[in-house]
Amino acid sequence: MSKIENKILTDLVYEKLKVMIDDGVLIPGQKINKLELSQMLGVSQTPLNDALSRLAGEKFLEQRSRQGYFVRAFSDEELVALFEMRGALEGMAIRLCCENATADQIEELSDCFEGFIFPLNDKSYMEYVHADKTFHEKLIRYSGNPILWELSRTSGYMIKSNMKGLTRPPEETYPEHMAMIQALKDHDGDKAQQLMIQHHLRSRNVFRSKLKKKEPNIR
């Protein structure tokens, strides 16, 4: 039997704000006007403050002394760092999946990318975006590591790096995903981890090359 929900206002505000960030109602870099926002949500400033602090702890927001809260924006340099982090975490996740995931779960992961025929049309492109997201999410869930799972749901880092669309075209990433799925089926943790790390480092390189083009002008 499911528990009766008896949530606290703070939690409701917290969840609402997270959705607002996810939906782009609150834009990266934007200043949060506490008074305005609390009136908009129909709550006092106290539960809003609590929610804002928590979101700052989770890196969705940034607090600047005496200036208030701002929606966290990631520089190109930080985006590079973000993909390195994801490579690390998801690399470990897929390794653990090789050890812990059931046959059914591996089947499910494999099914994510079933039936794509290239070149993709607009509809199947959208489906690929979705497949990509669920694949990486399920990997974490089936890794059996509760900390990774918690991080993926509550860390602004993980969620924000997942938000923007694809960084590389499906033609490029599809074979990489296939190779990972093969490694999963072979229960080859070392191989799978290597592949996942490479997968994310290649995405990182997209941002890093952007960065390098800028730098010379600054010097």
Partner DNA sequence: TAAATGTTTTTTGTATACAATATCTATTGA
Partner DNA sequence: TCAATAGATATTGTATACAAAAAACATTTA
Using CB under 7 A as the binding rule, whether residue 66 contacts DNA is answered as yes
Q: Does 30 bind DNA (CB under 7 A)?
A: no
Output 197-203 pairs: Cβ under 8 A, ≥24 positions apart.
197/87, 197/88, 197/91, 198/87, 199/87, 199/173, 200/83, 200/84, 200/86, 200/87, 200/90, 200/91, 201/83, 201/84, 201/87, 202/168, 202/172, 202/176, 203/83, 203/167, 203/168
Q: CB under 7 A: which stretch of 31-39, 105-113, 135-143, 161-169 binds DNA? A: 31-39
Interface characters, 5-24, with DNA (x: CB under 7 A): -x-xxx--------------
Q: Would you count residue 46 as binding DNA (CB under 7 A)?
A: yes
Residue pair 208/150 in contact (Cβ under 8 Å)? The answer is no
| CB of 50 vs its own copies, minimal distance in Å | 5
- Sites of contact with its own copies (CB under 8 A): 6-8, 10-11, 46, 49-51, 53-59, 65-66, 77-78, 81-82, 84-85, 87-89, 91-92, 96, 145-148, 150-151, 154, 157, 190, 193-194, 197
Nearer to its own copies, 22 or 111 (CB): 22
d(CA 210, CA 83): 14
Using alpha carbons, select from 153, 131, 130 the residue that is nearest to residue 141: 153
Task: Indicate the SS3 state at residue 66.
Answer: coil
In the complex with DNA, the residue whose CB is nearer, 66 or 213, is 66
What is the residue whose two structure tokens read 């709550």?
A: 43
Residue 44 partner contact from its own copies, DNA, none using kind-dependent CB cut-offs of 5 to 8 Å: DNA
Binding site for DNA (CB under 7 A): 6, 8-10, 31-36, 43-47, 49-50, 63, 65-69
